[in-house]
């Protein structure tokens, strides 16, 4: 690689851009033209094949082929394959030392860019929103070709009314699947719990979407769990709704949406003690819901709850990996109604996506309902393809809001 050093070539200003370009699309061409206009030479730093895998993207083109395509584009002086082994181009920037590091329309803030520190160290100017807003993305083009789309277009008259998106968590934003191991005796209690994590790519897209909509994550999980899994999107225009509508966290404040009595918790404790002797792998830590994980739907669970619940105020929901036992009058939908009321919104201001039985009321309370699993949850709109449903819907909304 011929080293281009802007500090040695005083007469020429070197501009660098970086990306995967997997594949190149019209948005990239706009970026190259605008970046080239900032200086005399344009160097394109190309993320290598290992970085493509780290991002979790489809390896559409090998790095040598992507490099060959870029070198044929007018205005590009040199293409440098990234030397970095993480998802940044910090080491490569430190080697090249351009005068300017130009960032595309989807990157607008210094705190959002991991290369900020190396640019400060080498006195590299950072320029944002180069080439205008993000018109499309390579991953979106690949996803569309693979069939990762909605079943039909959502009319613009509905989209322009939106103020909030509500997303179910497991199976929608993160991969479904929970491993739980619980050990309990008279002297000690221990639990091992593991499940999916929000990807960096989806977190970045959700944060972009927060510029246009309030982003609410609605889950049956405990609030402490959601705070960890969704730590990358907490803050600003975000809401975490935990335990099927029982708790919300927004603007640094935790609110309990439904009142409870001591008798309710005594009843749950009695049910739990009776369920321990069945084929239950463990109880997920929660405040208001008794969640019993099992490898199969154990029919005796229903019999035990029916016998103990003399008031008939409980319901049981089997979601394929666990039983949720909770109050009948509490749901994600009821929680959403309370949030809509506090915010002064209308039903038409909300789009929601879910995939299981505990999401039915949630979709009923949204102006636009999207199913992430049309076989188990009916809705006018539904996602198709092999990507996580949230990735498909969020990209669809970004395409609308960032290009209108």
Task: Evaluate whether 85 touches 48 at the Cβ level (below 8 Å).
Answer: no
107: nearest Cα among 27, 214, 53: 27
Could you tell me the residue ranges of all domains in the chain?
Answer: 14-136, 156-258+330-401, 262-327
Residues 6 or more apart whose CB falls under 8 angstroms from that of 239 comprise: 214, 215, 216, 217, 248, 249, 250, 339
- Using DSSP's 3-state secondary structure scheme, residue 208 falls into helix
Task: Evaluate whether 340 touches 350 at the Cβ level (below 8 Å).
Answer: yes
**In this structure, what token pair is assigned to residue 359?**
């999401």
**In this structure, what token pair is assigned to residue 65?**
């082929």
The b-or-e profile of 113-139 (16+ CB within 10 A means b, else e) is bebbebbeebebeeebebbebbbbbbb
- Using DSSP's 3-state secondary structure scheme, residue 104 falls into strand
- 78-81/41-46 β-pairing: parallel
pLDDT in tens, the chain (404 residues): 555 555 554 569 999 999 999 888 888 999 999 999 999 999 999 999 998 888 766 667 899 999 999 999 999 999 999 999 998 999 999 999 999 999 886 555 555 578 999 999 999 999 988 987 555 566 666 666 667 689 898 999 999 999 999 999 999 999 987 777 777 777 777 777 777 889 999 999 999 999 999 999 999 999 999 999 999 999 999 999 999 999 999 999 999 999 999 999 999 999 999 999 999 988 999 999 999 999 999 999 999 999 999 999 999 999 888 999 999 999 999 999 999 999 999 999 999 999 988 899 999 999 999 999 999 999 999 998 888 999 999 999 998 887 66
Sheet (strand 41-46) strand order: 78-81, 41-46, 14-19, 100-104, 125-130
Task: Evaluate whether 352 touches 358 at the Cβ level (below 8 Å).
Answer: no
Q: Which CATH number fits domain 14-136: 3.30.2450.30, 3.40.30.10, 3.40.50.620, 3.30.565.10?
A: 3.40.50.620
State the Cα–Cα distance between residues 363 and 336, nearest whole angstrom. 10
Q: Is the domain covering 262-327 a CATH 3.90.1070 domain?
A: yes
130: nearest Cα among 104, 98, 101: 104
- Using DSSP's 3-state secondary structure scheme, residue 381 falls into strand
CATH dotted code for 156-258+330-401:
3.40.50.1000
What DSSP state is assigned to residue 133? S
Phi, psi of 143 (to 5 degrees): -60, -40
Q: Do domains 14-136 and 156-258+330-401 have the same CATH topology?
A: yes
**In this structure, what token pair is assigned to residue 272?**
């739990």
Sheet (strand 381-382) strand order: 253-256, 247-250, 238-242, 214-218, 164-168, 350-354, 368-371, 381-382
């Amino acid at each position: 690689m011929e080293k281009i050093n802007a500090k040695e070539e005083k007469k020429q200003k070197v501009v660098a851009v970086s990306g995967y370009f997997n594949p190149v699309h019209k948005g990239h061409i706009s970026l190259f033209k605008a970046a080239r206009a900032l200086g005399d030479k344009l160097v394109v730093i190309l993320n290598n094949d290992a970085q493509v895998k780290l991002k979790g993207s489809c390896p559409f083109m090998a790095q040598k082929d992507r490099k060959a395509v870029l070198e044929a584009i007018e205005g590009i002086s040199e293409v440098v394959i990234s030397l970095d082994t993480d998802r940044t181009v910090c080491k490569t920037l430190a080697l090249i030392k351009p005068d300017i590091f130009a960032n595309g329309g989807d990157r607008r803030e210094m705190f959002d860019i991991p290369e900020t520190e190396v640019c400060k160290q080498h006195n590299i100017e950072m320029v944002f929103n180069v080439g205008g807003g993000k018109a499309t993305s390579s991953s979106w083009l690949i996803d569309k070709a693979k069939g990762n789309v909605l079943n039909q277009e959502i009319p613009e008259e509905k989209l322009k009314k939106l103020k909030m998106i509500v997303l179910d968590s497991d199976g929608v934003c993160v991969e479904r699947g929970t491993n739980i191991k619980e050990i309990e005796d008279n002297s000690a209690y221990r639990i091992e719990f593991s499940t999916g994590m929000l990807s960096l790519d989806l977190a970045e897209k959700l944060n972009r979407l927060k510029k246009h909509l309030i982003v609410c994550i609605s889950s049956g999980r405990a609030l402490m769990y959601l705070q960890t899994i969704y730590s990358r999107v907490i803050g600003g225009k975000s809401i975490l709704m935990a335990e099927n509508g029982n708790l919300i966290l927004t603007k640094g404040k935790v609110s309990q949406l439904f009142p409870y009595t001591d008798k309710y918790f005594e009843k749950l404790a009695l049910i739990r003690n009776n369920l321990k002797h069945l084929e239950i792998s463990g109880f997920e830590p929660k405040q208001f819901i008794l969640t019993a994980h099992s490898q199969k739907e154990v029919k005796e669970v229903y019999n035990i709850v029916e016998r103990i619940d003399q008031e008939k105020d409980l319901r049981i929901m089997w979601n394929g990996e666990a039983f949720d036992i909770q109050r009948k009058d509490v749901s994600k939908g009821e929680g959403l109604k309370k949030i809509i009321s506090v915010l002064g919104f209308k039903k038409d201001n909300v789009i929601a996506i879910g995939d299981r039985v505990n999401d039915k009321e949630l979709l009923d309370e949204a102006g636009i309902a999207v199913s992430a699993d049309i076989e188990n949850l009916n809705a006018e709109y539904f996602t198709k393809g092999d990507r996580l449903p949230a990735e498909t819907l969020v990209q669809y909304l970004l395409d609308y809001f960032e290009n209108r």
